[in-house]
Chain A
Amino acid sequence: MRPRRTSATGTLALLPVWAVVIVAYLGTIAWTVVISFTASKSLPVYEFVGLAQYERLFRTSRWLVSVENILIFGSLFIGTCLVVGFLLAVALDQRIRAEGAFRTIYLYPYSMSFIVTGLVWQWIMNPALGVQATVRGWGLEGFTFDWAANRDMAIYAVAVAGVWQASGLVMAILLAGLRGIDQDLWKATKVDGIPTWRVYASIVLPLLKPMIVTAVVLLSVAVVKAYDLVVALTRGGPGIASEVPAKFVMDNLFERSNIALATAASTVMLVSVLAALAPWLYAEYIRASGARAA
């Protein structure tokens, strides 16, 4: 065992951090949860109404649409970003010429904020301004590409814009991973005559697992907080077709002076994220440390 003095010093040094974590993070989370059980409107009041806000939340069709949308957006966004990012990384890993230029081009969208991304794609997919208007101007009258203004396609429009923006990031992370793979491995598989696709699927991908986890975590964070992209691209419309939970929270928090409902919605978001993370946390930490102890 280490000398006790060191750990006391360490604890002391960490005190400010703990204070910040407990007050600024856990404290505000707890306060948010408390407010969600009250009847607060534009100001917090401590008049408790039990689960009334949650009941209302799940009677509100806009919230239900938001939840459905975030599931569609989340799975499409993360899935497509991973596939596209991986393929781009593999393509760049072929020792091609001007690799640096391509890398910059693919990563470039990531340097733009979601607001800019959203606006650009809004113009592209707006039937009166974008690709549709241009192609029809060339004489192809039947051409239709109106995703930003089409309520059945609006959430996919958001996903397309998101994928365009974030694929480059996945590419950069996975490319770094690919470069870290031992060249001897490739030589060995060549000697054994294993097809290249099989090497990627069975050897390279498992080796890239830490990178993929990193990418998934970063993309998931973007999904949960998806707000600016939607506001810039569709404003949640047409109608309520592309609403997302974060926008529901923001609208109720500010425009509608309904902070109790907003905090109830954000509590549901928090619980869902925790529920999704729980199996992974369990596998990574609790089971692992249990195994170590045994």
Chain B
Amino acid sequence: MSKPIQSQPIQFKPVTSRLIRGLFAGAALLAMVVPASAEPKAEVIHWWTSGGESAAVKVFAEAYGKAGGTWIDTAVAGGENARSAAINRVVGGNPPTAMQFNTGKQFDDIVAQGLVNDVETVAARDGWRDFLPKPLLDAVSRDGRIYAIPVNVHGQNWVFTSTKAFEAAGVKPPQSLDELVPALDALKAAGITPIGHGGQPWQDGMMFNAILLAKGGQDLYRSIYADKDGEAVRSEAFRAVVDYYGSLRGYVDPGSPGRHWNDATGMLISGKAGVQFMGDWAKGEFKAAGLTAGEEFGCFVAGPDYMIGGDVFVLAKTDDPDQKAAQELLATTLLSPEAQVDFNLIKGSVPVRPDVDTARFDVCGQTGMERLKDEGRQIGNPEMLSSADLVGSTRDVITEFWNTPDMTTDDFVEGFVEALEIAG
């Protein structure tokens, strides 16, 4: 086709008119497509890409389809990547319908910059304030308005025990933190790695925070992460927590640094290690290996308080009525009791509404749901109470202490105070 044009320039004309006709046809096609998109269409950015996770998110997609909408799945592997992809698109003027964040402060900035639609209409209509646990409600509200859709609650201060390892050592698995150290000593004597620990900074930090909440109590924990109180860090109670944490260093194996959490869970599954401090997502690994809660593996919450975290969806700012309808339908669907139960059963977490049927959850899930009903006994994880910056800075101190046996409690305390000051 290009050859006649080159030799006979006059033939440009038909080409031009063909182009115009093509444009018209395209426009007509577009016009035909537009009415079809009147049904709510939601593009959702999330980072649930592992096997269990994508099975869980499929529950949401199907529920949304049943409710009359179309779910457009944009999965980005890795939380950080997904969040920066979402924020880049919001800043670039091409926002998705909804984007995933962890429950907490991660979406503070985009709320403050006015890049987010609130969920007040749906929240008021569906009575969210009547059933959401208070820490969760606080975590999704800014100045009294709800800006995020919480979808699950992960408990983060769980301790898992390997029945196989404890049978081999000939002792009973511990049921509480008080029974922990003697049990660890028994495992050590039997030549089994007592704590299956993944020595990555976030895991070092999670273990410390679980112990801080259990041994130091909710008030101390809150005054550190919520109030950033340097005096609380210098208190005797905090120093006792640091000493206890430091004493656990002797119970991990030399291969621990850098290990992934699921490899550490694998050590419990095979009976090579006895206990693991981890969030309830570890259950997914046990279940995938065919183990049953309460039989081949055990679980207990470290201390009387329940440290919660989870995932939320945030709705990008839009004035388009179609998109707004899609967002409202999404908010209603994600919190419907059926979707909540089905999703969380697969995800390993527990529903954000305590008013759903708990019969299908396992022993650990039942415990989690019980804890969720007692408002005085639950508190957000550090990410919910303080900025990502502060969590990261304190984590640097925690992981340095955990990996440096000659670092003293004084050094730890001073480093922690400094981190609170500079990152506050």
Interface residues of A (CB under 8 A from B): 41-43, 45, 56, 59-62, 122, 126-129, 146, 148-149, 151, 234-241, 251-252, 254-258, 261
Q: Whose C-beta in chain B lies nearest to the C-beta of A261?
A: B389
The reply to whether A239 and B109 contact each other, CB–CB distance below 8 Å, is: no
Query: How distant is the Cα of A236 from the Cα of B199 in the complex, in angstroms?
Result: 11
Instruction: Return A57 CB to nearest CB of chain B, in Å.
Output: 10
CA distance A127 to B108 in the complex (A): 42
User: With the chains together, A127 CA to B252 CA distance in Å?
Assistant: 13
Could you tell me the distance between the alpha carbons of A191 and B25 in the complex, rounded to whole angstroms? Answer: 85
The interface on chain B, measured as residues whose beta carbon lies within 8 A of the other chain's beta carbons, has a size of 37
Give the nearest-CB partner of B407 in chain A: A239
* B403: chain A residues within 8 A (beta carbon): 151, 237-239, 241
Q: Does B387 contact A41, Cβ atoms closer than 8 Å? A: yes
Interface SS of chain A? loop
Q: Which residues of B contact A60 (CB under 8 A)?
A: 393, 396, 422
Query: Do B400 and A42 touch (CB < 8 A)?
Result: no
Interface status of B256 (Cβ within 8 A of chain A)? yes
For the complex with contacts A60-B396, A128-B255, A237-B403, 15 further pairs of A-B residues with Cβ separation under 8 Å are A42-B388, A43-B113, A122-B258, A149-B255, A149-B256, A151-B257, A237-B201, A237-B399, A238-B257, A239-B400, A239-B401, A240-B201, A240-B399, A240-B400, A257-B387
Interface status of B402 (Cβ within 8 A of chain A): yes
Using known A-B contacts A41-B109, A60-B422, A151-B404, determine if residue A239 contacts B258 with beta carbons closer than 8 Å: no
Q: In the bound complex, how far is the Cα of B80 from the Cα of A59, in angstroms?
A: 26
The answer to whether A256 and B200 touch across the interface, beta carbons within 8 angstroms, is no
Q: Please, which residues of chain A bring their CB within 8 A of the CB of B87? A: 42-43
- A62 and B80 contact, Cβ closer than 8 Å, known pairs A42-B87, A128-B255: no
A240–B415 Cα distance when bound, in Å, is: 13
Shortest Cβ-Cβ A-B pairs, 4 listed: A128-B255, A239-B403, A238-B403, A238-B257
B392 within 8 Å of A by Cβ? yes
Q: Which of A43, A234, A251, A254 contacts B109 (CB 8 A)?
A: A43
A126 and B396 in contact, given A59-B418, A238-B403 (Cβ under 8 angstroms): no
Question: A240: which of B81, B106, B389, B396 is its contact (CB, 8 Å)?
Answer: B396
B387 near A237: Cβ-Cβ < 8 Å: no
Given the interface pairs A62-B396, A235-B258, A239-B403, the reply to whether A258 lies near B388 with Cβ below 8 Å is yes
Is B296 part of the binding interface, using a Cβ–Cβ cutoff of 8 Å? no
List chain A residues, Cβ under 8 A from B199.
149, 237-238
The CA of A61 and the CA of B394, in the complex, are separated in Å by: 12
Taking Cβ atoms with an 8 Å cutoff, the residues of B that contact A are 80-81, 83-84, 87, 91, 106, 108-110, 113, 199-201, 204, 253-258, 387-389, 391-393, 396, 399-404, 415, 418, 422
Give bound CA distance, A149 to B198, whole Å. Answer: 12
**Residues on the B chain within 8 Å of A41, using CB:** 108-109, 387, 389
In the complex the two chains form, what is the Cα distance from A252 to B395 in whole Å? Answer: 13
The chain B residue sitting closest to A260, CB to CB, is B389
- In the complex, what distance in Å separates the CA atom of A78 from the CA atom of B364? 53
Complex interface: chain B residues within 8 A of A251 (CB): 392
A126 / chain B contacts, CB cutoff of 8 Å: 255, 258
User: Does A148 lie within 8 Å of B257, measured CB to CB?
Assistant: yes
* Main SS at interface, chain B: helix
Assess whether B399 is in contact with A148, with CB atoms less than 8 Å apart.
Answer: no
Closest to B78 in A: A254
Q: Would you give 10 A-B contacts (Cβ < 8 Å), ordered by A? A: A41-B109, A42-B87, A42-B109, A148-B258, A151-B257, A238-B258, A240-B201, A254-B80, A257-B109, A258-B392
B256 contact set on A, CB distance < 8 A: 149
Residue of B nearest to A45 (CB): B113
Determine the residue in chain A with the shortest Cβ distance to B113: A43
Return A258 CB to nearest CB of chain B, in Å.
Answer: 5
Is A127 touching B258 in the complex (CB atoms < 8 A)?
no
Complex: A255 Cα to B81 Cα, angstroms: 9
Chain B residues with CB under 8 A of A255: 80, 388, 392
Highest count of chain A CB atoms <10 Å: which of B254, B256, B402: B254
Q: Shortest beta-carbon distance, B376 to chain A, in Å?
A: 31
Q: Which of A122, A128, A239, A240 has the most CB of B within 10 A?
A: A239
Contact pick for A237, options B109, B110, B258, B389, CB 8 Å: B258
Residues of A within 8 A of B388 (CB): 42, 255-258
Nearest to A128 among chain B residues (CB) is B255
**A129–B255 touching, CB < 8 Å:** yes
| B396 cross-chain contacts in A, Cβ below 8 A | 60-62, 240
Complex Cα gap A128–B106 (Å): 36
Instruction: List the A side residues contacting B391 at CB < 8 Å.
Output: 256
The smallest C-beta distance from A55 to any residue of chain B, in angstroms, reads: 9
Per the bound structure, the CA–CA distance linking A222 and B24 in Å amounts to 53
Of all chain B residues, which has the CB nearest A60?
B422
Given the complex, which residues of B lie within 8 Å of A151, measured CB to CB?
Answer: 257, 403-404
C-alpha spacing A61/B84, complex, angstroms: 27
The 8 Å CB contact of A254, one of B84, B110, B255, B418, is B84
CA of A121 to CA of B204 in the docked complex: distance in angstroms? Answer: 23
Residues of chain B within 8 A (CB-CB) of A236 are: 201
Given the complex of chains A and B, what is the CA–CA distance between A241 and B396 in angstroms?
11
